[in-house]
Amino acid sequence: MLIETKISDCMLCVWDCGIKAHIENGRLMKVEGLPEHPVTKGYICPRGEALPSYVYSADRLTTPLLREKGRFQKVSWDTALDYCAEKLNDVKKKYGARSLAVFCGSVGVENIEVATFARRFKGAYGTPNLLSVENICYRTRILARQLTFGRYPLDDPGDARCIILWGHNPDGSKGMLAEQIREKLNDNNFELIVINPKRIPLSEKAHHLTIRPGTDAALGLAMLNVIINEGLYDKEFVDNYTVGFPELVEHVQQYTPEWAQEITWINAADIKGAARIYAQAGPSCIIQGINSLDQHRNGLQNSRLLSILQAVTGNFAVPGGWVEGPRIPLANLSLKDQEAPIGAEEYPIFSSLWGRKAPFGIATLLPQAILEGKPYPIRASIITAANPVVSFPAAHQFKEALSNLDFLAVIDPFLTETAELADVVLPACTFLEKGGLSYVYGVVFGEPYAMIHHKVIEPVGDSWPDWKIWSELGRRMGMGEYFPWQTDEEVTNAFLQDGELKDKLNANPAGAYYGEKQYYIYKKKKLGTPSGKVELYSQTLKDHGYDPIPVYLEPGQSPVNTPELYEKFPLILISGERAQEYTHTQQRQVLELRNNNPEPLAEIHPVTASKYGLADGVMAQIETKSGKMKMRMRTTDKLAPGVVSVPHGWGGNANVNMLVDMDVFDPITAYPDFKTVLCSVTPA
Ligand SMILES: Nc1nc2c(c(=O)[nH]1)N[C@H]1C(S)=C(S)[C@@H](COP(=O)(O)OP(=O)(O)OC[C@H]3O[C@@H](n4cnc5c(=O)[nH]c(N)nc54)[C@H](O)[C@@H]3O)O[C@H]1N2
Ligand SMILES: Nc1nc2c(c(=O)[nH]1)N[C@H]1C(S)=C(S)[C@@H](COP(=O)(O)OP(=O)(O)OC[C@H]3O[C@@H](n4cnc5c(=O)[nH]c(N)nc54)[C@H](O)[C@@H]3O)O[C@H]1N2
Ligand code: SF4
Ligand SMILES: [Mo]
């Protein structure tokens, strides 16, 4: 028997943990964390441990599928790709290249090959329309930080003496961080503040503020009011390295803790207490949930407030605050666009900030482009590494739109709900079945990390790596010059045109970590903002007609904003708290994970439950203005009364995105107001 251990990394989610894969006769048997990994240091979550069951799942697609007379037939790669090429050429002839949308999901964030080849193909084909999860995830906070600091500084909590977990539960979404915080909690000189409508596991050792969902800006403004009026800000930093402080001082006067108490459900005394701890215990690091604050009609401004808090307290570019790392010099394999993608005109800052162009359009505009031909018709799509029918808001609209295309191809290892709508499904192999490059820009702890990603097993069935699928399709469409590579290694080398980087990665099997952080950068050079300083007041936002300093806006649906809706739907629905077992819509087929988390459960406070005739374990109907569904309830006194928390990623009748629409959105980024939807619950 041939027994081997291979070093690689897990690409099931953005944290990209190092792994040791144990293989017997070519079959993956067991996966462990990799202690030598410079960032994850042996950490592994249940999904990583369950990788053997994931890759060998009976549900894996093993051949291409082609829809014939309404039903999928197994076909050869030649047949499937010839069909795709013919259809894509037809669409181009009939409607022009821009009528194709290439759509890439969150896997594209952690898997550079998946994203790069999707992007390269769209460039070669000539469409500007690359759509991605960026329009519901991450981009808002990146933009908010760029607008404030000129670049994108990341959380650097290692030396922090105060951490605020703001709308974030790392035990579900960022296991390594949860471990790191638990270690820090052993130190008497460390303070943890949790801002969340739910008491998370880490709340037990924290100052916990139970907030009304969607009101974080009111809290942030009131904290600024306290910090400024009590003189707790960093005067030296503010005076020398920021612009707009006098305007900010004036602006926050109206936002007193007493004002915020009414809005946020948090006592004014607790707001003051949290502001004082945060400003005085420093260095302090706000660790921001990605979804809770950004997916809001005022999401960019919510994120801006956190940047302003970090700035006035002097927690920018210091150890324990927010800091930027260096860039890793990877080759850019994308091709130039001839025109802007959909949404660029309506969302100019999202699409291009100070000439830095975003490579993607506004994904939530896709249904409108397909169904209404606005701003022009999109008639074909290739969706890779995404399951928008389950993961995007207004799921029914996405489903209807994708069903109305002239041509839809889906590239995925599994037959997802989105793939079920396709004309052709192309089986991608998983990351364990291909070699490549792993690259993480500091989503973990503030610095970039890269590693040669080692192939662990041969592709399952007749599945192919993403690069090969796009390349073979490209060659069939006369675009072969853009896809010269034939092997995983050639593709990896294409990214590694910088010889020094290549040598460094080859010399470090567990990867290279670019730990040199750019501390006190503001003392050394002008920042990348137009003023060269930290912009508390943003002239750029003002010039575009937005608030230069954030204001508070009620959530799109709320007792105050839409009282008539509130009468019918008196509870607040939040969705998408992460669970260790699943990445979004994935892994439901992996038995050991499913056994631990067998069905979606909607959480509710026991008092709220009994008010509406419900009890722990019963089925309830959850209804919003957009739709209704049935789900089992779990009562927990950890969640604020009046709130219902529903997990995302479950398909079919448990798809929470059937309850969420796209009517209300952030005017700067088009992010939907995903989190604070009014709902009712009744016994099913
Ligand atoms: N296991 C697992 N990990 C993942 C993922 C996954 O699918 N599975 N997805 C990854 C991705 S793509 C992302 S974007 C991140 C998401 O990461 P986050 O968005 O940080 O998600 P969570 O850590 O679950 O934290 C969300 C918390 O916000 C709280 N919350 C809800 N509404 C509000 C509100 O209005 N205000 C405040 N203050 N809190 C609120 C919820 O109760 C919940 O505890 O996770 C990543 N990690
Ligand atoms: N209600 C609600 N909805 C949400 C959220 C929420 O908090 N609440 N969160 C949102 C967020 S932050 C995000 S990022 C999105 C995520 O939305 P998506 O990216 O659409 O979700 P995933 O389930 O991760 O879809 C990834 C797909 O890629 C496939 N895949 C895996 N590996 C490969 C590969 O190597 N190649 C290819 N081609 N495919 C592969 C998987 O099988 C899966 O079908 O969900 C969003 N949806
Ligand atoms: S799924 Fe788990 S093991 Fe894999 S990268 Fe994410 S946190 Fe790490
Ligand atoms: Mo995300």
Kindly state the average pLDDT of the residues 514-520. Answer: 85
Q: Which of 177, 291, 387, 636 to mutate to test the pocket of ligand 1 (most atoms within 8 A of CB)?
A: 291
**pLDDT surpasses 60 at 149:** yes
573 alpha carbon, closest ligand: 1
Is residue 605 domain-resident?
Answer: yes
Is residue 450 domain-resident?
Answer: yes
Domain end among 492, 513, 534: 513
Confidence of residue 38 (pLDDT cuts 50, 70, 90): confident
Considering the chain, what percentage of its residues have pLDDT values greater than 70? 99
Is residue 551 domain-resident?
Answer: no
Cα separation, 375 vs 643, whole angstroms: 38
Mean pLDDT over the full length of the chain: 95
Q: Which of 438, 443, 585, 645 to mutate to test the pocket of ligand 2 (most atoms within 8 A of CB)?
A: 585
Residue nearest to atom 6 of ligand 3 (CA): 13
Which of 417, 352, 405, 342 minimizes the C-alpha distance to 379? Answer: 405
How far is ligand 3, taken at its centre, from the CA of residue 33, in Å? 9
Is residue 663 domain-resident?
Answer: yes
477 and 340 belong to one structural domain: yes
Kindly state the average pLDDT of the residues 133-141. Answer: 90
Q: Say which DSSP state 656 is in.
A: G
Residue range 72-111, pLDDT digits in tens: 999 999 999 999 999 999 999 999 999 999 999 988 777 8
675 and 582 belong to one structural domain: yes
Domain end among 513, 548, 577: 513
Kindly state the average pLDDT of the residues 356-378. Answer: 95
585 and 439 belong to one structural domain: no
Kindly state the average pLDDT of the residues 542-563. Answer: 95
Residue range 168-180, pLDDT digits in tens: 999 999 998 999 9
Question: Which residues in 478-512 are b (16+ Cβ under 10 Å) and which e?
Answer: ebeebbebeebeebbebbbeeeebeebbeeebbbb
Is residue 46 domain-resident?
Answer: no
Q: Identify the domain containing residue 666 by its residue range.
A: 563-683
Q: Look at residue 448 in the predicted model and tell me its pLDDT.
A: 81
368 and 480 belong to one structural domain: yes
Tell me if 583 CB under 6 Å of ligand 1.
yes
412 and 494 belong to one structural domain: yes
Look up tokens 């592994």; give the residue: 44
Q: Look at residue 192 in the predicted model and tell me its pLDDT.
A: 98
Is residue 351 domain-resident?
Answer: yes
447 and 593 belong to one structural domain: no
Conformational region of residue 70, where left means phi above 0, alpha means psi within -120 to 50, and beta covers everything else: left
Q: Say which DSSP state 100 is in.
A: E
The whole-angstrom distance between residue 266's C-alpha and the CA centroid of its chain comes to 28
13 alpha carbon, closest ligand: 3
Residue range 220-271, pLDDT digits in tens: 999 999 999 999 999 999 999 999 999 999 999 999 999 999 999 999 999 9
Residue range 430-473, pLDDT digits in tens: 999 999 999 887 655 667 888 999 999 999 999 999 999 999 99
Q: Look at residue 371 in the predicted model and tell me its pLDDT.
A: 98
485 and 356 belong to one structural domain: yes
Cα separation, 656 vs 661, whole angstroms: 11
Question: What is the residue-wise DSSP string for 529-592?
Answer: STTSSEESS-HHHHHTTS-SS------SS-TTT-HHHHHH--EEEEE----TT-STT--TT-HH
Six-digit token string for 46: 């249940």
Instruction: Provide the CB-side half-sphere exposure for 23 (13 A, CA).
Output: 19
Number of Cβ within 10 Å of residue 336's Cβ equals 5
Kindly state the average pLDDT of the residues 560-586. Answer: 96
Q: Which of 17, 174, 582, 584 to mutate to test the pocket of ligand 3 (most atoms within 8 A of CB)?
A: 17
Dmax (CA) for the chain in angstroms is 74
**The CATH number of the domain where 437 resides is what?**
3.40.50.740
- Atom in ligand 2 nearest the alpha carbon of residue 586: 23
**The CATH number of the domain where 671 resides is what?**
2.40.40.20
339 and 479 belong to one structural domain: yes
508 and 589 belong to one structural domain: no
442 phi and psi, to 5 degrees? 60, 20
Q: Look at residue 446 in the predicted model and tell me its pLDDT.
A: 63
Is residue 140 domain-resident?
Answer: no
509 and 571 belong to one structural domain: no
Domain end among 471, 495, 513: 513
Domain count, the chain: 2
479 and 628 belong to one structural domain: no
599 and 454 belong to one structural domain: no
Q: What residues line ligand 3, using a CB cutoff of 6 Å? A: 10, 12-13, 15-17, 44-45, 47-48, 175
Question: Which residues in 154-172 are b (16+ Cβ under 10 Å) and which e?
Answer: bbbbeebbbbbbbbbbbbb
**pLDDT surpasses 90 at 278:** yes
Confidence of residue 578 (pLDDT cuts 50, 70, 90): very high
**pLDDT surpasses 80 at 595:** yes
Confidence of residue 495 (pLDDT cuts 50, 70, 90): very high
Is residue 543 domain-resident?
Answer: no
Kindly state the average pLDDT of the residues 656-670. Answer: 91
